[in-house]
Each structure stands twice: as structure tokens, then as C-alpha cells.
């Protein structure tokens, strides 16, 4: 990590109280001592099965949700210590794209007005806003004349373009996208991913992309973090994670990708059973109930996230013996 990362997190811990049968409440651990960093100009991927804490992490990194413990730092300063003006800068410079673009748009507001809100906040006059609106809409593949239409007049892919345009209108440094293409058809997914890649180049963005689709993250990201039941189990450069992963969970996720060329040995690592509940995280290595390599140590001792060469880290007692 650089001395001062653009955005970083230290030991994030987050739980939620959930109701169960009999009207009692239990504690669900969404994040458990998660630390990460996003460098200027970097695209960071966050991957894992549903329920692993990816979306909670994204909201905390964007300042939309507070952790129970730990801290998010913007250019080295904890968000909780930012003054009013500095906090406003962070909120403007860090924009989020949500999984469901329709729910994040005001159905009674024309999309041109929705996209233009940051321009109005910045004090632009109506004549100044128009060319900026047309520039942003054109950048994401929307015709400028569509500005007078309402959200329900657009398809899901078009609404996601609107969400991206609204985020870009704030001139952000950081774009955090939570499953930005999961609800879209395959052909539309490719279009949105290509837009994000182009936006990173044209607007000098740093991006954090949350997705359960590892192929998308390999295509768009510089680094990928793998999460399991609220914790990071592996992280490293995207290409290396695919060519030489160091955790059985990552290997299983890669082996499960349809059509991807993997060895017979890797295919044997397909995940067994369902993801355990975050209401009752297994002791020791949280992955051990689903790992065919687990030994007694895995059941009782929590593995540390160990760093290897090239910025590659893994939390597995057997990493060296399994992956060399």
C-alpha cells in the first residue's frame, strides 16, 4: 500500500440485528476485520457469493453506512474526522452506482433534471448546464433529446447508463459500483462494462466494482479481493488470481465459471454444500466446512491473511502445500 492511499479501510467490523423465530434477535456479522486500499487510477474488484458482505462493504466505503468498528480513510483522514467542508468534498468526489438503477431514480423527475442535479449544486446557470448535460449523456451512449423523458420510459440497460451519467456529473474521483450489471442481459452487460472502462480513461477515475461475476472483474479490474462470510480470504492482481490462486475458495469459484478452461483437478474443487449462515460463522477457518482439504487445524485456528510476493495475499493454513 502507498503511504497515503486515495481510499482505504482498516479493520472494518459491521453487524446487524436480525429477528428470528420467537421474536428474539440475533447478531449477523456482515464484515469481520476487513482492511483494504484503493489507489489513484486503480480499479479494484470485490468478489464472492451472495451474503459474503460485498454490498455492505461498498456502502461503508462510500460513506453511506457507518461501521461498528474500524475506519474508512479518504486520503489518509478518517471519514469520521472530516470537517463539514471536507465531508462535502468526499461525498461529491465519491459516487455510487447501485444494482437497481430504477430504485435510485426519482420516477417523477425527468432524467435530464436527475443527471443535472450536481450542476445545480455547483451553481451552474441553466445555459451552462445544457452543454455539460449533453456531454455526459453522449459519453454514456444516451441521446441528448432523451433528457425530457422519465425513468419508466427506459430499459434496464438505459437506466443503468442514466445512473452512471448522474454519478459522472459530480466529477468524481472515485466510482463505487455495486453489482452494476447483474440484472442485465449478457449483451447489455458488455455494453455497460465497456462504458465503465471508457469512463475510467476519459474521466480519470478510480473504481471499486462489486460483483459475483469473476469473469467481469478479470476483464475490468487491476486487483481482485475475494470475500467469504464477511472476511477477505484472498487478494491479488487480477491476472495472477486466475493463473495462480492461493485459496481453495478462489479455486472453487474459478472452477465453477461455465465454459472457462480449467484443469480436471480444479473441477474437483467445486463448492460443496451451501454458504453457511452469517448468523453462525464456523470456528477456525470459516471455509473449512466446505473445503475438501481441511485438517484439524483448520477447524480450530483462524488463518491470518498472509502476504506473498507481488501483493498477493491469502488466508489459508494450507496455501503453501496446496499451491506452492
Q: Would you call 168 exposed, middle or buried from its count of C-beta atoms within 10 A (0-12, 13-18, 19+)?
A: buried
Give 2's pLDDT tier (boundaries 50, 70, 90).
low
Give 254's pLDDT tier (boundaries 50, 70, 90).
very high
85-119 pLDDT, tens digit per residue, is 999 999 999 999 988 767 778 889 999 999 999 88
Please provide the average confidence, as pLDDT, over all residues in the chain: 90
Q: What's the rounded mean pLDDT across residues 255-276?
A: 69
Question: DSSP label at 124?
Answer: -
CA distances from 225 to 12, 39, 67, 133 (A): 15, 14, 19, 35
The Cα 112–Cα 127 span in angstroms is 14
Kindly tell me if the per-residue pLDDT of 267 is higher than 70. Answer: no
What is the reported pLDDT for 123? 85
Name which of 42, 30, 33 is nearest 206 in CA terms. 42
SS3 category, 234: strand
Torsions phi, psi of 233, nearest 5? Answer: -110, -20
The Cα 29–Cα 276 span in angstroms is 12
What is the reported pLDDT for 210? 95
Kindly tell me if the per-residue pLDDT of 266 is higher than 70. Answer: no
216-239 pLDDT, tens digit per residue, is 999 999 999 999 999 999 999 999
Helix, strand and coil percent figures for the chain, each rounded to 5: 40, 20, 40
Torsions phi, psi of 76, nearest 5? Answer: 90, -10
Give 23's pLDDT tier (boundaries 50, 70, 90).
low
Kindly tell me if the per-residue pLDDT of 1 is higher than 60. Answer: no
178-190 pLDDT, tens digit per residue, is 988 877 788 888 8
What is the reported pLDDT for 258? 78
When computed from its CA atoms, the radius of gyration of the chain, rounded to whole angstroms, is: 21
The Cα 184–Cα 4 span in angstroms is 36
Give 198's pLDDT tier (boundaries 50, 70, 90).
confident
The Cα 1–Cα 307 span in angstroms is 12
What is the reported pLDDT for 273? 75
Question: Whole-prediction pTM value?
Answer: 0.91
Angle subtended at Cα 260 by Cα 254 and Cα 266, rounded to the nearest 5 degrees: 50
Please say whether the beta carbons of 141 and 161 come within 8 A: yes
The Cα 84–Cα 243 span in angstroms is 46
Give 200's pLDDT tier (boundaries 50, 70, 90).
confident
Amino acid at each position: 500500500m502507498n503511504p497515503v492511499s486515495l481510499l482505504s479501510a482498516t479493520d472494518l467490523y459491521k453487524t446487524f440485528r436480525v429477528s428470528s423465530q420467537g421474536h428474539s434477535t440475533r447478531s449477523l456479522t456482515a464484515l469481520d476485520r476487513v482492511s483494504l486500499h484503493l489507489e489513484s487510477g486503480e480499479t479494484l474488484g470485490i468478489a464472492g457469493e451472495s451474503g459474503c458482505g460485498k454490498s455492505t462493504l461498498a456502502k461503508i466505503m462510500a460513506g453511506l453506512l457507518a461501521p461498528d468498528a474500524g475506519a474508512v480513510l479518504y486520503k489518509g483522514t478518517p471519514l469520521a474526522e472530516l470537517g463539514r467542508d471536507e465531508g462535502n468534498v468526499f461525498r461529491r468526489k465519491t459516487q455510487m452506482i447501485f444494482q437497481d438503477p430504477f430504485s435510485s431514480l426519482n420516477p417523477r423527475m425527468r432524467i435530464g433534471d436527475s443527471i443535472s442535479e450536481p450542476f445545480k449544486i455547483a451553481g451552474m446557470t441553466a445555459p451552462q448546464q445544457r452543454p455539460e448535460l449533453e456531454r455526459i449523456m453522449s459519453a454514456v451512449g444516451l441521446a441528448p433529446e432523451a433528457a425530457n423523458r422519465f425513468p419508466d420510459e427506459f430499459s434496464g440497460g438505459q437506466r443503468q447508463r442514466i445512473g452512471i451519467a448522474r454519478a459522472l456529473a459530480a466529477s468524481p474521483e472515485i466510482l463505487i459500483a455495486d453489482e452494476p450489471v447483474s440484472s442485465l442481459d449478457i449483451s447489455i452487460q458488455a455494453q455497460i462494462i465497456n462504458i465503465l472502462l471508457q469512463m475510467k480513461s476519459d474521466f480519470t477515475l478510480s473504481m471499486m466494482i462489486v460483483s459475483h461475476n469473476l469473469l467481469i472483474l478479470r476483464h475490468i479490474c487491476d486487483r481482485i479481493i475475494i470475500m467469504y462470510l464477511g472476511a477477505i480470504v484472498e487478494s491479488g492482481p487480477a491476472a495472477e488470481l486466475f493463473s495462480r490462486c492461493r485459496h481453495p475458495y478462489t479455486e472453487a469459484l474459478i472452477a465453477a465459471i461455465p465454459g472457462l478452461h480449467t484443469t480436471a483437478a480444479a473441477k474437483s474443487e467445486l463448492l460443496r454444500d451451501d454458504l453457511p449462515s452469517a448468523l453462525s460463522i464456523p470456528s477456525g477457518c470459516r471455509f473449512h466446512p466446505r473445503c475438501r482439504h481441511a485438517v484439524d487445524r483448520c477447524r480450530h485456528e483462524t488463518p491470518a491473511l498472509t502476504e506473498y510476493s507481488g501483493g498477493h495475499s491469502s488466508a489459508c493454513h494450507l496455501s503453501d502445500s496446496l499451491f506452492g
